[in-house]
């Protein structure tokens, strides 16, 4: 029986990270793209920019998330897409930490339209940050080891899947 080396496992581990992060972005974007006004209200709930700026961010964000998801799904520009993902996740983590530190009672809007919480609803900032840190680990794996199976990058580099 042949021993599998760590070097042989990394493309598969990176592939799982790529597909996992692609799913995250596609689901996050899809939950917001149907109601851009609500997405803008969710961004505005963080109270870090003017409402006009929040409207722009709220309108662009779902499309950016979907684009990142599609690029990762296809395995095109994997390292660059992972870098953009990492930056976006750090911004999201910072936003959640900001809301928490300011005593805001909002849904982060990560996988929903978000916004202010109603009476009796509790925040989940700690869990939201931990979840996003997990997603950041996936992006980190792809930054470190961007070669994956079943990717356009691999085809362009002449690698077999």
pLDDT digits (tens, 9 = 90+) for 31-65: 999 999 999 999 999 999 999 999 999 999 999 99
pTM of the model: 0.92
pLDDT at 3 over 70: no
Measured from the Cβ of residue 32, the count of other Cβ atoms closer than 10 Å reads 26
Whether residue 5 lies inside any domain: the answer is no
Domain count, the chain: 1
- The confidence band for 159, taking pLDDT boundaries of 50, 70 and 90, is confident
pLDDT at 121 over 90: no
Whether residue 152 lies inside any domain: the answer is yes
- The confidence band for 100, taking pLDDT boundaries of 50, 70 and 90, is very high
Whether residue 3 lies inside any domain: the answer is no
Whether residue 1 lies inside any domain: the answer is no
Residue 94, pLDDT score: 97
Please tell me the least confidently modeled range out of 9-13, 36-40, 47-51, 109-113: 109-113
Whether residue 4 lies inside any domain: the answer is no
Which structural domain, as residue segments, surrounds residue 150? 10-156
DSSP string, the chain: -PPPPHHHHHHHHHHHHHHHHHHHHHHHHHHHHT-HHHHHHHHHTT-SS-HHHHHHHHHHHHHHHHHHHHHHHHTSSHHHHHHHHHHHHHHHHHHHHHHHHTT--EE--SSS--EEPPTTPPP-HHHHHHHHHHHHHHHHHHHH----SS-HHHHHTT---
pLDDT at 1 over 50: no
Instruction: Tell me if 64 sits within 8 A of 43, measured CB to CB.
Output: no
Whether residue 146 lies inside any domain: the answer is yes
Residue 154, pLDDT score: 85
Residue 109, pLDDT score: 87
Residue 29, pLDDT score: 97
pLDDT at 161 over 60: no
Whether residue 44 lies inside any domain: the answer is yes
Give the residue-averaged pLDDT of 135-150.
Answer: 97
Mean pLDDT of the chain, nearest integer: 93
């Amino acid at each position: 029986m042949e021993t599998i080396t760590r070097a042989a496992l990394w493309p598969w581990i990176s592939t799982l990270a790529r597909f996992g992060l692609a799913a995250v972005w596609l689901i996050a974007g899809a939950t917001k793209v149907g109601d851009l006004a609500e997405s803008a209200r969710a961004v505005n709930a963080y109270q870090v920019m003017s409402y006009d700026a929040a409207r722009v961010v709220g309108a662009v964000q779902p499309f950016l998330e979907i684009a990142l998801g599609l690029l990762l799904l296809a395995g095109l520009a994997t390292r660059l897409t992972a870098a953009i993902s990492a930056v976006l996740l750090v911004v999201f983590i910072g936003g959640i930490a900001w809301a928490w530190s300011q005593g805001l009672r909002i849904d982060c809007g990560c996988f929903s339209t978000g916004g202010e919480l109603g009476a009796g609803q509790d925040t989940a900032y700690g869990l939201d940050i931990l979840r996003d840190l997990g997603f950041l680990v996936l992006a980190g794996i792809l930054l470190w080891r961007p070669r994956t199976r079943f990717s356009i990058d691999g085809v362009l580099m002449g690698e077999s899947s």
